Amino acid sequence: MSIDIRAVSLNREGGERLDIKNQDINKIVEQILKEIEEEKTEIKDNKTENSSKGDLGIFPTMDEAIDAACKAQNILQNDYSIEEREELIKAMRNEISMHVDKISRMAYEESGMGRIEDKIIKNNLAINKTPGTEDLRTEAKSGKKGLTILEEAPFGVICAITPVTNPSETIICNSIGMIAACNTVVFNGHPRAKKTSTYVIKVLNQSIIEAGGPANLLTAVAEPTIQTVESCMADDRISMIVATGGPGVVKAALSSGKKAIGAGAGNPPVLVDDTVDLKRAASDIIKGASFDNNLPCTSEKVIVALDSVADELIKHMIDDNAQLIDDTVSLEKIILNDDGSINKDLVGKNAAYILRKAGIKPKCEDLRLVIVDVELDHPFVQEEQLMPVIPLVRAKNFEEAMEIGVQVEHGNRHTAVIHSKNVDNLTAFAKKIETTIYVKNAPSYAGIGAGGEGHTTFTIAGPTGEGLTSARTFTRKRRCVLVDGFSII
């Protein structure tokens, strides 16, 4: 930029003459331009503040992780519009979708659980079917007394705890929903999936920064432990806790004294009555119960079949890709610990692997599911196993089947599945079991949007009642009232 002024005379206050020569003007202009440039850089630096600290959101200590997330939340809330947040989410979806194969393999290798091909489906589901900012609603009520607006405001900084069973999916899903609602997140990934969690957080943060967003919208500590979860939950700067995991972490979150969302364990029963196409029911149960080797909390965990159809159902399952095992004792020896709890080393392992461990020959290498025909009080029925070994319990009639279903679900109010063409049966069981997700005549995963209508989530809040969480779950409802104004009718 150059200004062609040879010399200027200005009259200062009081009449004193000030002569400015061309040289001086150029210097002044240069100085002004420099200052404008510096100001711009400062704004940009503010927006991406503390990007130099931490490693794309990963910090050595919890204190630093929370501090960075607090600063980032301030920037997000003050400097970014809802449209800009949606742009960041778009960038997150685009970038992480390029890493799906890698993170699916990484989660499998690190945790030693599940099936890569199913993890790919789960990750794509989280990326494509988690709602963004479109989930948020503003309501207005107008009348003679004026106008009242109800808005969904951010909570602030959320402490999110994620499970080993869906390490990348939960982080992707929570990140999209929580940022859509203008929060930032301190993640506490499972120690057995820390490499995967860290990788996903870094990719998401990188995509946010490249799209012009602030650094550290998502943070975590490099070495997550139960102690780091505890210190995160207890920190005053955290305003909401979202715990996805087993009963221990949900209880800890609910005892924190803060707003907490608990997404806990389930033990979904699948009822089969005598009105259905048993071949199709058999196929759907195998698909749902063997999905990612039964790791999803929503997967069918116990079959409750009418005695009159149980044998035929088992036959169809065997004709498909399941194997019935009579020698339950050998399975009990390896699946149950001495105290009756589940052997975690077998969680999410392949069916053929589990059989071999029990000294039983699998009928094929790619066996999807093992069935055991047992009584209601069997530990495989009562405990959440998270492995492709499904117990079948027989019921005399539908009334008894419902009672068994309710009993094995243990009041988790999580998920239940039913195969029936009888509308009365479908309705009666829905009323009795009161689960958050109720799937009719399909594999369980239809309930989280895979092959069924509706959005997905990997944080299903049964205990605290938010249900299938989404952006609006992570908001505070606020009311803004204007009296005697804006009433135009």
Chain positions contacting ligand NAD, by CB under 6 A: 161-166, 188, 190-191, 226, 229-230, 244-246, 248-249, 252, 263-266, 297, 384, 458-460
The distance of closest approach from Cβ of residue 126 to ligand NAD in the complex, given in angstroms and rounded to an integer, is: 12
Considering the complex, what minimum distance in angstroms separates the CB of residue 164 from ligand NAD? 4
Residue 162 or 420 with smaller CB distance to ligand NAD: 162
Task: Compare residues 310 and 390 and give the one whose CB is closer to ligand NAD.
Answer: 390
Place of tokens 């047992």: 374
Helix%, strand%, coil% for the chain, nearest 5: 45, 20, 35
Handedness of CA 250, 253, 257, 258 (dihedral sign): negative
Given a contact cutoff of 8 angstroms between Cβ atoms, the answer to whether 383 and 243 are in contact is no
Of 133 and 162, CB closest to ligand NAD: 162
Distance CA 212, CA 84 (A): 9
> By C-beta, is 160 or 355 nearer to ligand NAD?
160
* Shortest distance, position 388 Cβ to ligand NAD, whole Å: 15
Residue (50 or 464) nearer to ligand NAD, CB: 464
Alpha carbon distance 80, 180 (integer Å): 11
Residue with nearest beta carbon to ligand NAD: 245
The answer to whether 369 touches 385, Cβ cutoff 8 Å, is no
Q: Which two tokens stand for residue 234?
A: 């207890």
Cβ proximity to ligand NAD, 118 vs 273, nearer residue: 118
* Long-range interactions of 199-203: CB distance < 8 A, separation 24+: 199/99, 199/102, 199/103, 199/106, 200/96, 200/99, 200/103, 200/167, 200/168, 200/171, 200/172, 201/56, 201/57, 201/58, 201/171, 201/175, 202/55, 202/56, 202/57, 202/58, 203/95, 203/96, 203/99
Q: Cα–Cα distances in Å, from 91 out to 126, 212, 371, 429?
A: 14, 10, 44, 43
Q: Two tokens at 343? A: 């052997």
Residue 32 tokens, joined:
């002004």
To ligand NAD, the closest distance from the beta carbon of 136 in angstroms equals 21
What is the spatial distance between Cα 88 and Cα 81, in angstroms, rounded to a whole number?
11
Our CB check for ligand NAD shows the closer of 252 and 282 to be 252
- CB 239, CB 73: distance < 8 Å: no
Locus of tokens 């927006």: 47
Please say which residue, 359 or 465, places its beta carbon nearer to ligand NAD.
465
CB of 172 to ligand NAD, least distance (A): 13
Q: In the bound complex, what is the minimum distance in angstroms from residue 163's beta carbon to ligand NAD?
A: 3
Report H helices in 60-214: 62-79, 82-97, 100-111, 116-129, 167-180, 194-210
Q: Coil, strand, or helix at residue 139?
A: strand
154 vs 224 by CB, closer to ligand NAD? 224
Q: Which two tokens stand for residue 479?
A: 């009311």
